[in-house]
Structure 1
């Protein structure tokens, strides 16, 4: 198939859409990616891209076509402009940079913002190509949860925009079953809402990786590793409170990543006198994650206590399950249910720092053989529920069906 992938984020930024594009081209599909200039998460255009943008025009045999956009920078206004300008560039310049190209289907990768759907719908009309819209972040619910938008009229307008985008798409894919339920509220034909979860990152195995030299060995400490975005949604105030409660216990926390909350977190760690207990080595490429996980006795995932986050399966859960290490989860709903169903670790309610501290102590007290069994349980569950090849098979079926004007059959839902 001739496929157009639209994503505001793409290589050299680290997102699963990179892996999906590589998987689709490896299966013989002709893939073109429409994206912007790489600037996530620091908010500045990557220096290597700015120096030689033509070096980033091909990825895994896919053409990468970029439209102008404002880097996200810092602050809410700058972020809003980043979202708006990419959408407008995609609507007005996308048809120009893609002129003469024909597509059988369009696949949209949508974390935030939902406005990535506007150029997709425009190009779908112009190219007579059906759109598959993959929702990894529900709007306007996530905006409410992080306090980004409080105006009822604006939230109402965003809800109308979401309904328009969903209804103009041939299928809308939800990263969790709870997402699918919410998506169906916007659709007239509910068969077009389909469950399509994420898969584990292809980063390698912690078992065979060399331990990250950025983290000093500490065999006498129980090491908890968090990897990923350091943002509002991850509830770092509660994590720090748990770390403070356990400051005199043989526990250390390693936070690998960056994001809009990282500077605040560094300042708070220093203010609370937790620099020995909480280590922040910074952001590293995906392929380095196994080296940090090699230090881990357990992996940490967390989300704030908000209804939207109870419907979310954080993308790191699939990767944590595949890593074969026990998981400590501080979150509600579907993400916690996955950890529990897998028998892969301990889950406590979102926002309950006292329970998180108790879960850490319980994990420390758990025999090593039982912790190893938790890790093995997680790996088996990931293989059964989130297998990469099986999910790529599923997306091929979905894209092939919508390109033929069919709604994908029930077995893909």
Structure 2
């Protein structure tokens, strides 16, 4: 099949960000499909107008520079969403396609996807990475009733026109069906890249020895966005209690986002920055394996908002791929998974002192760590390996193509 793949924030391993689309697209090419990715170039620098095309493992990627970062105001972000929607619509309309695939967020990627699919009389498959507009409404970020209705209408438009919807968690799938009953929906969460995170122990040893503040001390890491939803300050406050219990415990934050400076300021205010807490700017995905390999435990946090429990954060699956236990501070499907398998910790979202105690206790428990690492690896191999989940992904695309063909013939 010729597949047009629309993703506003596509990343390859040399960039900082999730590589789900890269991994799926290159596997599609390996299976004999032709894939055109339509995306944005958000790297800093002068803005050159026009499309730039690259070849990435056989995938043709069409880039257009549209500035975007997590520090932008909501109004500026909406402008970036609208700009890409218009550009992607024009680009997708000119590309041959047997199937059109679009992955959100933002929700606006559905517009070029639906239009291109109708022009080419091809099936449209829509992927939901975050449940919009339900989550921003629950967070209080989308308060205008008119805008809420417009966003809800856009979601319904996407689901109504999709041959099938892929949701990244059971909760997201339930949200899709609640809004549009009868929508064919398949859950395909983020994945564990086992080959990427298979790191030589010597590299890990050198990494630890190269940082005087680390050495052989227990290390908790957080890798990913420092946005409003992530609430990473929770872990900084937990580290205040952790230091009282064990002054050797270390916490490394690797990421970027609107909350970078407030998080850094809090760590400094609590006297933790540069001692217990260390902060690094975002790094390419290809550099994460050695960081996670050096970690004793990884972490993933969100603010105490029910809608955020349904996330499918890359950092959760990266930890599993690296055979590292993960600590989270929310309920839902990931909490159930950790409780059932022993692959990590579920921390009290309201009590950072208790969280600090639990972190220290488990970071020093070699028996628990060994079992948790083994459980994490089993999950990565048996339930979340990239190759395993790709089979389900390709099956959705093939199923949608067959449905379209049958409907045309009938």
Give the TM-score normalised by the residue count of structure 1: 0.88
- What RMSD, in angstroms, separates the aligned Cα atoms of the two structures? 2.5
Q: CA deviation at 1:53?
A: 7.6
Q: CA deviation at 1:49?
A: 9.3
Distance 1:220 1:397 in 2: 45
Residue of structure 1 equivalent to 2:61: 64
Confirm whether residue 133 of structure 1 aligns to residue 135 of structure 2.
Answer: no
Q: CA deviation at 1:261?
A: 1.3
Within the candidate set 105, 110, 126, 1:117 is matched to 110
Pick closer, same or farther for the CA change 1:227–1:70 going to 2, 3 Å: closer
Residue of structure 1 equivalent to 2:408: none
Q: CA deviation at 1:137?
A: 0.6
Q: CA deviation at 1:333?
A: 1.0
Deviation string 1:25-63 (CA, Å, 9 cap, x unpaired) is 122211111112x21xxxxx3449969984x52211111
When structure 1 is superposed on structure 2, of 339-348 and 141-150 the one drifting more is 141-150
SS at match of 1:134: strand
Superposed counterparts of 1:21-60, under 5 Å: 21-36=25-40, 38-39=41-42, 45-47=43-45, 54=52, 57-60=54-57
Within the candidate set 164, 185, 192, 1:193 is matched to 185
SS at match of 1:34: strand
The question of whether the paired residues in 1 share the 8 Å contact of 2:107 and 2:155 is answered with yes
Q: CA deviation at 1:188?
A: 3.9
Deviation string 1:331-375 (CA, Å, 9 cap, x unpaired) is 211121122223112112334323321221220342x13311211
Within the candidate set 97, 106, 113, 1:103 is matched to 97
Pick closer, same or farther for the CA change 1:388–1:48 going to 2, 3 Å: farther
The question of whether the paired residues in 1 share the 8 Å contact of 2:2 and 2:33 is answered with yes
Distance 1:187 1:116 in 2: 18
Residue of structure 2 equivalent to 1:9: 9
Confirm whether residue 89 of structure 1 aligns to residue 87 of structure 2.
Answer: yes
Pick closer, same or farther for the CA change 1:139–1:51 going to 2, 3 Å: closer
Residue of structure 2 equivalent to 1:410: none
Residue of structure 1 equivalent to 2:152: 159
Residue of structure 2 equivalent to 1:238: 234
Residue of structure 2 equivalent to 1:265: 263
The question of whether the paired residues in 2 share the 8 Å contact of 1:326 and 1:344 is answered with yes
Distance 1:258 1:50 in 2: 25
Residue of structure 2 equivalent to 1:169: 162
Distance 1:52 1:252 in 2: 46
Q: CA deviation at 1:145?
A: 4.3
Gaps (5+ residues) in structure 2? 406-410
When structure 1 is superposed on structure 2, of 218-227 and 382-391 the one drifting more is 218-227
The question of whether the paired residues in 2 share the 8 Å contact of 1:175 and 1:195 is answered with yes
When structure 1 is superposed on structure 2, of 77-86 and 356-365 the one drifting more is 356-365
Q: CA deviation at 1:215?
A: 3.8
Gaps (5+ residues) in structure 1? 40-44, 408-413
Distance 1:33 1:8 in 2: 9
The question of whether the paired residues in 1 share the 8 Å contact of 2:2 and 2:98 is answered with yes
Q: How many residues align?
A: 393
Distance 1:131 1:5 in 2: 10
Distance 2:128 2:182 in 1: 17
